Amino acid sequence: MDNSLKIKPFFVGSNIFARELFGKMHPLSGKRVSGVIELCQAMGWLKDEDITQSRAASFNTLSRFHDKQYITAIKEADQAGMVSAQIRNKYCLGTMENPLFKGLYQRAATTVGGSILAAQLLKDGGTVYHPSGGTHHGRPDRASGFCYFNDPVFAILEFLDQGLKSVAYVDIDVHFGDGVQDAFEQEQRVHTFSIHEEKRWPYTGGLEDRGGGQSFNMPVPHGLNDTEFDYMLDQVVYSNLKRIKPQAIVITLGADGLYGDPLSKMNLSNGALWRCVMNLRAMSPRTIILGGGGYNPWTTLRCWAGMWGLLIGADLNAELNSEARAVLNALECDLIDEDEMENDWLSRITDEPRTGDIRPSVIEVAAQAK
């Protein structure tokens, strides 16, 4: 076993993530990272002192990837609580997709700060869990897909600053990790992998898209099951990583590919996502696990809390205590009807596996994406 796997994992968070954010009508309006922390604490997996506090990245740091005028626009819009039509159009800011909310700038900058801190904590190897990260659609000069800045980019830049020669980025959010791939198109030291649902926003990341030559894109059909997901990972991701031998892996663990997510049509269990992360973690001395999308609060919180439980060696099949049940019972989501609720969402952490046949279309994607 690699020594780095024995080092105690870090949990990076910030009190700022406990605040309510986005508007009431937005898919991200519910509890996410604060709920993950509550659930982990209820399970006895996390104490306040176990959380490494992240700090906001400075304007200068942000400007390493983001356009200065764009950063200023976010800062000013946040202070004013409004944007002009011109700024809205130019930066996609203050829209339905990327709304303004109080403390937006500080929060987005703290997410970036957390990802930089994550890479700094791993100079000598190990694992960091930073569930508020994973804003993979953020662009140098505009907001996109609920993302204002792009924190995975900063984690990777920090690793490169440390002198690493090879960094891999693996994105298992149901949406294509477009912002990260594009950021490193000209960077031979960074390989990116993205498994995402086909015919879904942002509609790019096709099989033929190799970025600058170091990218692997796997647009998979609706209803992808655990068996197909494992197959895709084996055929394309693990096989290439064995060859590449990355010195660090940054993972965007979006939970929106899970069965029951209202914004996608995938058929994955949380066990499949965890298995992927643990396999990736064994392939590199340094691993950063970020969050990402996830619009069903029950499946998202169980997936992300369980991820931490797994990292610290907890028993994920343990009966939920009343405190943990209360956390899950208190969640709300306008996008999910009561009759769509599964019993497991309120009573246990682990999903039943969602295995199945491997469809020819999945085999075809794997063959072409290799």
Burial of 243 (0-12, 13-18, 19+ CB in 10 A): exposed
Asked if 178 is part of the footprint of Zn ion (rule: CB under 5 A), the reply reads: no
Asked if 196 is part of the footprint of Zn ion (rule: CB under 5 A), the reply reads: no
CB of 142 to Zn ion, least distance (A): 18
CB of 26 to Zn ion, least distance (A): 14
Nearer to Zn ion, 197 or 351 (CB): 197
Asked if 152 is part of the footprint of Zn ion (rule: CB under 5 A), the reply reads: no
CB 317 within 8 A of CB 347: no
Nearer to Zn ion, 175 or 348 (CB): 175
Complete DSSP assignment for 284-334: SSEEEEE------HHHHHHHHHHHHHHHTT--TTSPPPHHHHHHHHT---T
Taking Cα atoms as reference points, which of 210, 211, 167, 217 lies closest to residue 185?
Answer: 211
Count of residues in contact with Zn ion, rule CB under 5 A: 6
Q: State phi, psi for 191 to the nearest 5 degrees.
A: -105, 135
Q: Which stretch binds Zn ion (CB under 5 A): 53-61, 172-180, 210-218, 268-276?
A: 172-180
How much is the CA Rg of the chain, to the nearest whole Å? 19
- The single-letter DSSP state of residue 103 is T
What does the angle CA 215 – CA 58 – CA 156 come to, to the nearest 5 degrees? 20
Strands 190-197 vs 126-130: parallel, antiparallel or unpaired: unpaired
Asked if 256 is part of the footprint of Zn ion (rule: CB under 5 A), the reply reads: yes
Q: Which stretch binds Zn ion (CB under 5 A): 7-15, 38-46, 58-66, 167-175?
A: 167-175
CB of 293 to Zn ion, least distance (A): 3
**The two structure tokens encoding residue 289:** 């696990």
CA atoms of 133 and 114, how far apart (whole Å): 7
Asked if 291 is part of the footprint of Zn ion (rule: CB under 5 A), the reply reads: no
137 a catalytic residue: yes
Q: Which stretch binds Zn ion (CB under 5 A): 1-9, 53-61, 169-177, 200-208?
A: 169-177
CB of 252 to Zn ion, least distance (A): 9
Asked if 261 is part of the footprint of Zn ion (rule: CB under 5 A), the reply reads: no
Nearer to Zn ion, 174 or 224 (CB): 174
CA atoms of 41 and 355, how far apart (whole Å): 31
Q: Which stretch binds Zn ion (CB under 5 A): 86-94, 163-171, 183-191, 247-255?
A: 247-255
CB of 254 to Zn ion, least distance (A): 4
CA atoms of 280 and 286, how far apart (whole Å): 10
Report the residue from 38, 151, 173, 228 that binds Zn ion according to the rule CB under 5 A.
173
CB of 260 to Zn ion, least distance (A): 14
Which amino acid does the sequence have at 74? I
Asked if 257 is part of the footprint of Zn ion (rule: CB under 5 A), the reply reads: no
Asked if 175 is part of the footprint of Zn ion (rule: CB under 5 A), the reply reads: yes
**Of 66, 130, 136, 137, catalytic:** 137
Residue nearest to Zn ion (CB): 293
Asked if 179 is part of the footprint of Zn ion (rule: CB under 5 A), the reply reads: no
CA atoms of 73 and 88, how far apart (whole Å): 9
Q: How far is CA 45 from CA 101, 221, 324, 365, in A?
A: 31, 36, 11, 39
Report the residue from 254, 260, 285, 291 that binds Zn ion according to the rule CB under 5 A.
254
Which residues carry out catalysis? 137
Which residues are near Zn ion by CB under 5 A? 173-175, 254, 256, 293
